[in-house]
Amino acid sequence: MDNLGISGSGSACLEVAIKMLAIAQYESSGEVGSLSHTKLGTCMAWVFCWASMNSGLGPTSMTSFRLYIVRHGETDWNRTRRIQGQKDVPLNETGIAQAALVAQALKEVTFTKAYTSDLQRASKTAEVILQYHPSVIAEKDKALREVYMGELEGEPGNSMKPAPSKETTEALMRRWQSWYSRSVVGYMLSKVKKGTAGGGTGGPECILVVSHGGLISNMVRVLVASGVVLPARGVVVGRCLNTGVSIIDYSESIQGRNKGIYLNGTLAKYSDVTHLARTNVVEENVDERVCDRAIP
């Protein structure tokens, strides 16, 4: 776990938590939202215990961060309800237009950091958004790819074809958790330690992430079910639509006798598509639905 900036007991915490998360999700028959909050909350508490055990940070004032998580624009396979997985399917004409609309909606946000899946439907969406933010270059990361669907990729969304090589729940969660610990939690804590946190304008520091429906849905549902991120009043984790914008606000707090730094998250929005006025939007993401099936 050295690549996460985690060592010693913190690494052990993460290893145990990931295994417990996979077992808990398997027992829930693939529906992350139905997990026991007590069981999953305990697991995720272990995942994030390294923040206080390994940061070596002293008391500090509260600092806010804002994470914008955007799903890519539409592709022809979205439109025809074919399972994409990690096939590198490009945006179609509608998807490019959707990317332009979400870019317009986010043009006043001051992004300081950006991450994207390396698959072109996501990286192109990020590229269009960042046209309004020329000083920010999106970091492409394979960890943000859609769930690998194996033999199901290219099949109709209702296909029941066996897919023995499909990415397991444990592998999926390990993948995004590794990225999240390194690029989100690790980055935020490093900024706090250096005393450079914040957007520099009195508002929160804003980070852009562009990824895929299956991964976004799994990540947000697990974070919410764990209690690491709490939904704001009226926010429901439903379908993750093309160019849907989800926002997680983070504040830091000092807890425990060791005065460890903790990041408290609030899900302010989930898959908001008001920029599209819901015009001709594909309402079902077959990758997300297939991802939610129980994986032995």
Q: Tell me which long-range contacts 124-128 makes (C-beta under 8 A, separation of at least 24).
A: 124/72, 124/73, 124/90, 124/91, 124/96, 124/99, 125/70, 125/72, 125/73, 125/91, 125/95, 125/99, 125/210, 125/243, 126/70, 126/208, 126/210, 128/96, 128/99, 128/100, 128/103
Give CA–CA dist 116/104, Å, rounded.
18
Please report, for the chain, the start and end positions of each structural domain, with discontinuous segments joined by +. 2-291
Residue 146 is among the residues annotated as catalytic for this protein:
yes
Q: CA neighbours within 13 Å on the CB side: how many for 18?
A: 19
Q: Is 198 annotated as a binding residue?
A: no
Residue 72 among known ligand-binding residues: yes
Can you list the alpha helix ranges (DSSP code H) found in 66-109?
76-79, 93-105
Pair of tokens at residue 10: 């913190």
What string of pLDDT tens digits covers the 296 residues of the chain? 433 333 334 444 444 444 444 444 444 333 333 344 444 444 554 444 444 343 333 333 344 899 999 999 999 999 999 999 999 999 999 999 999 999 999 999 999 999 999 999 999 999 999 999 999 999 999 999 999 999 999 999 999 999 999 999 899 999 999 999 999 999 998 887 787 777 666 789 999 999 999 999 999 999 999 998 999 999 999 999 999 999 999 987 766 565 667 788 999 999 999 999 856 666 566 676 666 654 44
Give the active site residue among 15, 27, 37, 72.
72
- Determine the pLDDT at residue 257: 60
Tell me phi and psi for residue 239, to 5 degrees: -75, 145
Residue 76 labeled ligand binder: yes
- Catalytic status, residue 212: no
| Residue 112 among known ligand-binding residues | no
Parallel, antiparallel, or unpaired: how do β-strands 205-211 and 245-255 relate?
A: unpaired
The number of angstroms, rounded, from the C-alpha of 133 to the middle of its chain's C-alpha atoms is 21
pLDDT at residue 287, rounded to an integer: 74
- C-alpha 6/C-alpha 189 separation (Å) is 12
In CATH, the number for domain 2-291 is 3.40.50.1240
**Edge-to-edge strands of the sheet including 64-71?**
139-140, 111-116, 205-211, 64-71, 245-255, 260-272, 229-231
Given 133, 146, 167, 205, the catalytic residue: 146
The reply to whether 71 sits in an annotated binding site is yes
How far is Cα 259 from Cα 263, in angstroms, rounded to an integer?
13
